[in-house]
């Protein structure tokens, strides 16, 4: 949340000011200025377009295209309510993230795989390959491992205490399911966490070192994730990819 707040107050605000100065919001088609968002369990968004036509829609029923058309009246003129903006200050299309990742992957290959023969051999490539969807996979795996580790090691729970903990807070698998927004637990298990389906995850975690005082989960789990990358197909360890093997000279 802190990173998002920094984005809103820095680069996002700068993009909006620049767009306002250049008049980019003057001709936005379908602009709807939001006048009110009701409170309660089912918020309703009230809006007014450039022709003075008013309307309303339940927030949960609004599509991405409708949300991208919503603006608010700021001190210097209209400002988009859509969080992610492009460099022109306009709403960033959801599918455009694929282009961002494609460009990033190309930059990584240009720097990490400069030799043409290595580019042709994926087994020799040092460049990581990522997509927006792979970020969800990484998030799911990270949360599953961390939740298991917290439950079994940091809290030192006995089997009886673990059952009580799960009744109160939920099983790690179901917590990850809720975080991903899946209706079915099988979707979480079979599609997003398939890379670790063949591993004894609990056995792997029992050998992980416990957290030290003042240590954050990410600091104490590096070796666990490195082992997962070595033993499970489909998991990349970026640190390992970036290691350069020194050449011998004769």
pLDDT digits (tens, 9 = 90+) for 106-127: 888 888 887 776 666 666 777 8
Residue 104: inside a domain, yes or no? no
Same domain membership, residue 135 and residue 70: no
- What pTM, to 2 d.p., does this model score? 0.58
| pLDDT given at position 13 | 95
Residue 18: inside a domain, yes or no? yes
Task: Choose the final residue of a domain: 41, 59, 80.
Answer: 80
For residue 186 the two structure tokens come to 């099988």
Q: pLDDT tens across 146-175, in order?
A: 777 766 655 566 666 666 666 555 677 788
Same domain membership, residue 146 and residue 75: no
Contact status, residue 196 vs residue 228, Cβ threshold 8 Å: yes
Residue 205: inside a domain, yes or no? yes
Q: Between residues 218 and 47, which one has the greater pLDDT?
A: 47
Residue 95: inside a domain, yes or no? no
For residue 240 the two structure tokens come to 């390992």
For residue 89 the two structure tokens come to 């200050």
Give residue 64's domain range: 2-80
Mean pLDDT of 18-25: 94
Which residues, other chains included, contact 221 with Cβ-Cβ below 8 Å and sequence gap of 6+?
A: 145, 146, 149, 208
Same domain membership, residue 227 and residue 151: yes
Which residues, other chains included, contact 248 with Cβ-Cβ below 8 Å and sequence gap of 6+?
A: none
Same domain membership, residue 162 and residue 68: no
Most confident of 18-22, 189-193, 230-234: 18-22
Q: Where are the alpha helices (DSSP H) in 44-157?
A: 64-68, 96-112, 116-120, 132-149
pLDDT of 182 higher than 80: yes
Half-sphere CA count of 20, side-chain side, radius 13 A? 16
Residue 198: inside a domain, yes or no? yes
Same domain membership, residue 142 and residue 72: no
SS3 content of the chain, % helix, strand, coil (to 5): 50, 10, 40
Mean pLDDT of 51-79: 93
**Under DSSP, is residue 79 helix (H, G, I), strand (E, B) or coil?**
strand
pLDDT of 69 higher than 90: yes
| pLDDT given at position 2 | 87
Q: Provide the residue count of the chain.
A: 250
Burial of residue 230 (CB within 10 Å: 0-12, 13-18, 19+) is: exposed
Contact status, residue 56 vs residue 94, Cβ threshold 8 Å: no
| pLDDT given at position 218 | 53
Task: Choose the final residue of a domain: 47, 80, 113.
Answer: 80
Q: Between residues 20 and 179, which one has the greater pLDDT?
A: 20
Q: Number of structural domains, the chain?
A: 2
Residue 116: inside a domain, yes or no? no
């Amino acid at each position: 949340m802190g990173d998002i707040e920094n984005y809103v107050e820095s680069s996002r605000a700068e993009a909006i000011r620049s767009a306002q100065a250049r008049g980019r919001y003057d001709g936005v088609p379908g602009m709807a200025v939001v006048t009110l968002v009701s409170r309660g369990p089912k918020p309703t968004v009230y809006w007014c377009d450039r022709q003075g036509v008013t309307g309303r829609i339940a927030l949960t029923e609004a599509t991405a295209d409708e949300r991208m058309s919503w603006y608010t009246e700021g001190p210097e003129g209209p400002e988009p309510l859509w969080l992610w903006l492009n460099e022109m200050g306009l709403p960033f299309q959801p599918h455009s993230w694929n282009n961002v990742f494609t460009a990033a992957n190309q930059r990584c290959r240009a720097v990490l795989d400069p030799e043409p023969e290595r580019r042709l051999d994926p087994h020799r490539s040092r460049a990581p390959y990522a997509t927006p969807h792979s970020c969800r996979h990484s998030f799911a795996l990270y949360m599953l491992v961390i939740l298991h580790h917290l439950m079994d090691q940091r809290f030192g729970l006995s089997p009886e205490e673990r059952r009580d903990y799960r009744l109160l807070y939920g099983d790690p698998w179901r917590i990850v399911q809720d975080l991903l927004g899946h209706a079915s637990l099988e979707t979480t298990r079979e599609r997003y966490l398939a890379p670790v389906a063949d591993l004894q995850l609990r056995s792997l975690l029992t050998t992980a070192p416990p957290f030290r005082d003042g240590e954050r989960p990410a600091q104490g789990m590096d070796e666990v994730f490195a082992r997962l990358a070595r033993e499970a197909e489909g998991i990349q360890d970026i640190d390992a990819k970036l290691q350069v093997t020194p050449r011998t000279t004769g």
